[in-house]
Chains A and B, each alone.
Chain A
């Protein structure tokens, strides 16, 4: 200790002190960033490797060997795991036929393979991750607040209770009643196909949970007014009354004016 005390006024003492301080903070920073990145990146290297093989075999024809995109399909660098989980998990991808819009079908990959594909695409560039369970629990959301957000942001295409509707040139907004909470969240987050993106600045994760709560509330509850006729509004209701209502009126009129035997 005497040695240190003696030299504390040495001209090099300040430099040495600075050096020690810088090394310490730098080391701590590196330590912390390493732990946080390791946390976010739950996918293992083998998942990414498996995902890469699946990608090369099933997706690369259209999206390119390195997911850089081609004339047949968009590049996937930076779309994130959420987009892959949505597109592959709902069976929309791999695409079976060209058309105005990819259709929902039986998923071609199981959950593990979907996760591997998602891990590979997520490793190509930063993008939205698969949402945490906390934000998928409809029971924690506020369906009334979600209803307001839904009517402002979603109802014009998806119908006021999420029954879906037509868009331009053969495209359509799908019915939301059967869509899982996770896929609802991922669709808002990533804007699949022609749906606009609702990022966290526009609809916060809490807002998205409210929207999910609203969709689940209206699709799980029975309609107090009787048959919903698909909740499609005037088209379905008009068709019903034209066919069955008018037929009943005509039938009664014929019976009223017929002669009794």
Chain B
């Protein structure tokens, strides 16, 4: 069906699949077109909205000075509310008045704009073809394959420098995805929220971690700017949750038996799904829940996944105690922390 048939304008009705094209509905004049009083009312309505907008603007200015935000939250709340109301009324009324104007007062003449045909006329097409032929003949691209082929080759390799330029956008991650600040003998310190400075570190003694406790833990030295260039980045990889569970409830692999200390276990807090901090620990069910996508890990069984989209258990940090009774790491995490990437081929 071409556009011509479709836009008959009701003049040439024809049957289509048994239905008659009803055409456009009859034009009914608006009240404001026929009744001068109604027109006057509509005009006043629109002007009323515009005046309301002015009132909103003036109210904004008045409220700005009348309700200056002070010390209390209540005063900030009042300031935001009244200033916001002024701005909302000012903007909304302009828009609403303009729509009313268009609907009730501007001309409601109904017209039909015909669509253009998509294809050009036959003469235009012939002219275009002629230009193409002429270009082919005059440039000699068909007669000189050497030029054609070298041009294609030149264009093909031209984007190659972009590879070098894009490569300069940032260094490759190197082994950063595999290493954290943890190493043999690093003490476990409390996470105070933020990055603790070197002299405010609070290391954790094993006997302070009672059964049912959960400690949020960072590696000692994270605030040392020589050791960690970007402490926040290091925290994002090295954050650990420390829990103590009755050793009778732990079901440990024989070869990971010495990774815990008397029921104290330490696991990476970074979810293996997309890297949210997993820290919703339930100390009776020993479930560890990720708040983002509800991945659930069972702490008693090396944090294996028991629910949710995560595919890999949380990496365990092997820990022990030093001669002073403080908890220390035996080594870095034995596997990369955080979201799984293609270097990892765990079954």
* Chain A contacts to B: CB under 8 angstroms: 147-149, 151-153, 156-157, 165, 167-169, 171, 173, 191, 193-199, 201-202, 221-226, 255-256, 260-261
Segment at the interface with A among B73-81, B161-169, B334-342: B73-81
CA distance A198 to B283 in the complex (A): 11
Q: Is the interface of A mostly helix, strand, loop or mixed?
A: loop
A191 touches B212 (CB 8 A): yes
CA distance A232 to B205 in the complex (A): 37
Given A222-B73, A224-B73, A194-B283 contact (CB < 8 Å)? yes
Q: Can you pick out 21 interface pairs between chain A and chain B where the beta carbons lie within 8 Å of each other? A: A152-B192, A156-B279, A168-B282, A168-B285, A168-B296, A193-B284, A194-B282, A194-B283, A196-B281, A197-B210, A197-B211, A197-B213, A197-B214, A198-B214, A199-B210, A202-B213, A224-B73, A224-B76, A226-B80, A226-B81, A260-B32
- Is B291 an interface residue, CB under 8 A from the partner? yes
Chain A residues whose C-beta falls within 8 Å of the C-beta of B294 in the assembled complex:
168
- Is B31 an interface residue, CB under 8 A from the partner? yes
- Is B30 an interface residue, CB under 8 A from the partner? yes
Chain A residues whose C-beta falls within 8 Å of the C-beta of B193 in the assembled complex:
147-149, 151-152
- Is B194 an interface residue, CB under 8 A from the partner? yes
A168 touches B212 (CB 8 A): no
Tell me the minimal C-beta distance from B152 to chain A in angstroms.
52
CA distance A226 to B77 in the complex (A): 7
Q: Nearest residue in A to B284 (C-beta to C-beta)?
A: A194
**Chain B interface residue count, Cβ-Cβ cutoff 8 angstroms:** 44
Chain A residues whose C-beta falls within 8 Å of the C-beta of B74 in the assembled complex:
222
CA distance A151 to B192 in the complex (A): 10
Chain A residues whose C-beta falls within 8 Å of the C-beta of B192 in the assembled complex:
148-149, 152
Q: Nearest residue in A to B190 (C-beta to C-beta)?
A: A202
- Is B317 an interface residue, CB under 8 A from the partner? no
Chain A residues whose C-beta falls within 8 Å of the C-beta of B32 in the assembled complex:
260
B213 touches A222 (CB 8 A): no
**7 nearest A-B residue pairs (beta carbon):** A148-B193, A196-B214, A201-B208, A194-B282, A224-B76, A152-B193, A197-B212
A156 touches B280 (CB 8 A): yes
Given A151-B193, A260-B103, A167-B289 contact (CB < 8 Å)? yes
Given A148-B194, A197-B210, A224-B73, A168-B284 contact (CB < 8 Å)? no
A167-B289, A196-B281, A202-B208 provided; 20 other pairs, C-beta below 8 A? A147-B193, A149-B192, A156-B280, A157-B280, A165-B291, A171-B285, A191-B213, A193-B284, A194-B285, A195-B283, A196-B212, A197-B213, A199-B213, A201-B204, A222-B73, A224-B77, A225-B77, A255-B99, A260-B30, A260-B103
- Is B302 an interface residue, CB under 8 A from the partner? no
Q: Nearest residue in B to A198 (C-beta to C-beta)?
A: B213
* Chain B contacts to A: CB under 8 angstroms: 30-32, 73-74, 76-77, 80-81, 99, 103-104, 108, 190-194, 204-205, 208-216, 243, 277, 279-285, 287, 289, 291, 294, 296, 307
Contact partner of B30 (CB less than 8 A), chosen from A156, A196, A226, A261, is A261
CA distance A152 to B280 in the complex (A): 11
Tell me the minimal C-beta distance from A177 to chain B in angstroms.
15
Chain A residues whose C-beta falls within 8 Å of the C-beta of B214 in the assembled complex:
153, 196-198
CA distance A261 to B100 in the complex (A): 12
Chain B residues whose C-beta falls within 8 Å of the C-beta of A194 in the assembled complex:
282-285
Chain A residues whose C-beta falls within 8 Å of the C-beta of B108 in the assembled complex:
260
Given A148-B193, A194-B284, A226-B81, A168-B208 contact (CB < 8 Å)? no
Tell me the minimal C-beta distance from A126 to chain B in angstroms.
13
B213 touches A224 (CB 8 A): no
Chain A residues whose C-beta falls within 8 Å of the C-beta of B284 in the assembled complex:
193-194
Contact partner of B80 (CB less than 8 A), chosen from A153, A196, A224, A255, is A224
Chain B residues whose C-beta falls within 8 Å of the C-beta of A199 in the assembled complex:
208, 210, 213
CA distance A156 to B216 in the complex (A): 12
CA distance A190 to B32 in the complex (A): 75
CA distance A86 to B166 in the complex (A): 60
Chain B residues whose C-beta falls within 8 Å of the C-beta of A191 in the assembled complex:
212-213, 283
Chain B residues whose C-beta falls within 8 Å of the C-beta of A171 in the assembled complex:
282, 285
CA distance A241 to B259 in the complex (A): 49
CA distance A39 to B289 in the complex (A): 43
Q: Nearest residue in A to B192 (C-beta to C-beta)?
A: A148
CA distance A223 to B80 in the complex (A): 11
CA distance A199 to B31 in the complex (A): 78
A223 touches B73 (CB 8 A): yes
Which residue among B103, B209, B294, B296 has the maximum number of chain A CB atoms within 10 Å of its CB? B103
Q: Nearest residue in B to A193 (C-beta to C-beta)?
A: B284
Tell me the minimal C-beta distance from B335 to chain A in angstroms.
24
Given A156-B279, A171-B282, A221-B73 contact (CB < 8 Å)? yes
Chain A residues whose C-beta falls within 8 Å of the C-beta of B287 in the assembled complex:
167-169
Which residue among A148, A156, A157, A193 has the maximum number of chain B CB atoms within 10 Å of its CB? A156
CA distance A226 to B294 in the complex (A): 30
Tell me the minimal C-beta distance from A93 to chain B in angstroms.
15
B289 touches A168 (CB 8 A): yes
CA distance A200 to B284 in the complex (A): 20
Q: Nearest residue in A to B214 (C-beta to C-beta)?
A: A196
B77 touches A223 (CB 8 A): yes
B307 touches A168 (CB 8 A): yes
CA distance A157 to B278 in the complex (A): 10
Chain A residues whose C-beta falls within 8 Å of the C-beta of B279 in the assembled complex:
156
CA distance A222 to B81 in the complex (A): 13
